[in-house]
Amino acid sequence: MNEIIKPSAILLIITAVAAMLLGVVSETTKEAIAAQSAKTEQAAMEAVLPGEGLEFETLLDTANGDAPDGTISKVSKATANGELFGYVITTNPSGFSGAVVTMVGIDAEGVITGLRVLSHAETPGLGALATDPSFYEQFAGKSGKVAVTKDGGEIQAITSATITSRAVSSGATEALDWIAANGGAN
Amino acid sequence: MGNPIKIIKNGIIDENPTFVQVIGMCPTLAVTSSAINGIGMGLSTAAVLICSNIFISLLRKVIPDKVRIPSFIVVIATFVTIIQFMLQAYLPALNDSLGLYIPLIVVNCIILGRAEGFASKNSPLDSAFDGIGNGLGFTIALAAIGLVREFIGSGTLFSYPVMPEAFPHTLLFVMAPGAFFTLGCMMALLNHLKNKKKSA
């Protein structure tokens, strides 16, 4: 009997101590982690929709339990001095391997002000180049429907990564469509 | 008590986890697409290895033989989770690039292998040195593979371009097959040097 109880009791003590330790570390780092992800998001929003004294209002956020709209996971409306300035929309189009999380900034006229790929699992050296300025800077100034040159659009696709380039383009188009459908832009 | 320098040297050279023991291959092949990723993965693994070696050595007389594997895993998983929280909170850039691989440290057989093979039989101090030696050996191996792959694949070293624009990027090297080629060539080279030393 002792042969069963003793090892089990010791294992129980080890796991209990480990759980307690993890609880303490989780509590102490929780705020710093939340602050980091808020900072990253804030920096990305400022990069895609540059402007002075913008106030953001969240219209849709899957993190708060809202249902996604297509692949759109987050929509924020930006106002400056009470007037509509633009929108920041996060879309999750499917790339070569998994979702390519793309944040698009669109001004009140429905023109893209900036675009960033926030996270992805694309091939290093190929699709992963979507985070390179030479690719994402092409999107600024585009409106209506965005597509790569192969599909008759104006976006120069990344060499050997057409699928990723198409995904980002479709994310941009989806964001523009959302604004058209929701009557945000004039 | 063993000689600390000898234990550390043993981990780095004589029993290098990557090139001699050939364990922990999953992270070795997966994250070495650049030098900085290799170093980051190596150092996080080393940190977990040193902590888990010390604790397992301290607990070696308390842990009954029958439940030693689950006990080791719990100790290792706890340290990995703590390191992940720390990276998320204070080094988000490194956390982004290592992301998926951090939880995989738990099942990295270097850590369980050293726990089982060294820490459960030696004093905490010796185990700490063994952790440092093996951790550094792993880090050096990953950094070396990462450097070669990054140089051939992207023409950069630590993300700084070192080659002219015209330098062809052999993309194969930043993808999975490149990891196997690099590892195989390095292992062959090291064995060749070792044999030469022996016959001389």
- As a whole number, mean pLDDT of residues B123-136 equals 93
CB contacts of B96 in chain A (<8 Å) are: 119
CA distances from A171 to A64, A82, A153, A176, B41 (A): 21, 28, 14, 9, 32
Q: Supply the DSSP string of A31-50, one letter for each residue.
A: HHHHHHHHHHHHHHHHHHS-
| A33 touching chain B per CB within 8 A | yes
What is the model's pLDDT at position B1?
53
CA of B178: which chain A residue's CA is closest? A124
Q: What's the pLDDT at B139?
A: 94
| B166 close contact with A: CB closer than 8 A | no
- For residue A30, the enclosing domain spans 1-47
Length of chain A: 186
Residue B104 pLDDT greater than 80, yes or no = no
Among B64, B85, B154, whose Cβ lies nearest the Cβ of A7? B64
Does residue A40 belong to any structural domain of this protein?
yes
Mean pLDDT, rounded, for A50-56: 83
The answer to whether residue B8 scores a pLDDT higher than 80 is yes
B32 reaches A (C-beta below 8 A)? no
pLDDT in the model for residue A183: 66
Q: For residue B138, what pLDDT is reported? A: 94
A2 and A33 share one domain: yes
Q: Can you give the pLDDT at residue B15? A: 85
* Residue among A14, A25, A123 minimizing CB distance to B71: A14
**Per-residue pLDDT, B136:** 94
Q: Are A125 and B174 a contacting pair at CB < 8 A?
A: yes
A161 with A85, same domain: the answer is yes
Instruction: Using the predicted structure, report yes or no on whether residue A1 has a pLDDT greater than 70.
Output: no
Q: Flag whether residue A149 sits within 8 Å of chain B, measured between CB atoms.
A: no
Is A169 found in the same domain as A104?
Answer: yes
Instruction: Check whether residue A114 and residue A141 sit in a common domain.
Output: yes
Count up the domains in chain A and report the number.
2
- Across the interface, whether the CB atoms of A6 and B64 are under 8 A apart is answered yes
The pLDDT of residue B56: 92
Confidence of residue A21 (pLDDT cuts 50, 70, 90): very high
**Residue A186: inside a domain:** no
* A123 and A164 part of one domain: yes
Task: Assess whether A4 and A28 both reside in one domain.
Answer: yes
A1/A78 same-domain check: no
Question: Is the domain of A63 the same as that of A155?
Answer: yes
> Which A residues in the span 78-137 are in contact with B, Cβ-Cβ below 8 Å?
119, 123-126
pLDDT in tens, B172-199: 888 888 899 999 999 999 989 888 888 8
Q: Per-residue pLDDT tens for A78-135? A: 888 888 888 999 999 999 888 999 999 999 888 999 999 988 888 777 788 888 888 9
pLDDT digits (tens, 9 = 90+) for B24-74: 888 888 888 888 888 888 888 898 899 999 999 999 988 888 888 899 999
Digit-coded pLDDT (tens) for A144-162: 888 898 888 888 898 888 9
**What does the domain layout of chain B look like in residue ranges?**
4-199
Which amino acid is located at A109 in the chain?
E
Q: Would A71 be classed as within a structural domain? A: yes
Check CB contact under 8 Å for B171 and A126.
Answer: yes
Question: CB–CB of B88 and A15 under 8 A?
Answer: no
Three-class HEC string of B129-181: HHHHHHHHHHHHHHHHHHHHHHHHHHCEECCEECCCCCCCCCHHHHCHHHHHH
Kindly state whether residue A134 falls inside one of the protein's structural domains.
yes
The pLDDT assigned to A186 comes to: 44
B149-178 pLDDT per residue, tens: 988 887 888 877 777 777 777 778 888 888
Q: Which of A6, A15, A32 sits opposite B90 (nearest CB)?
A: A32
Least Cα separation, residue A183 to chain B (angstroms): 36
User: Are the C-beta atoms of B75 and B48 separated by less than 8 Å?
Assistant: no
Q: Is residue A32 part of a domain?
A: yes
**Is A150 domain-assigned?**
yes
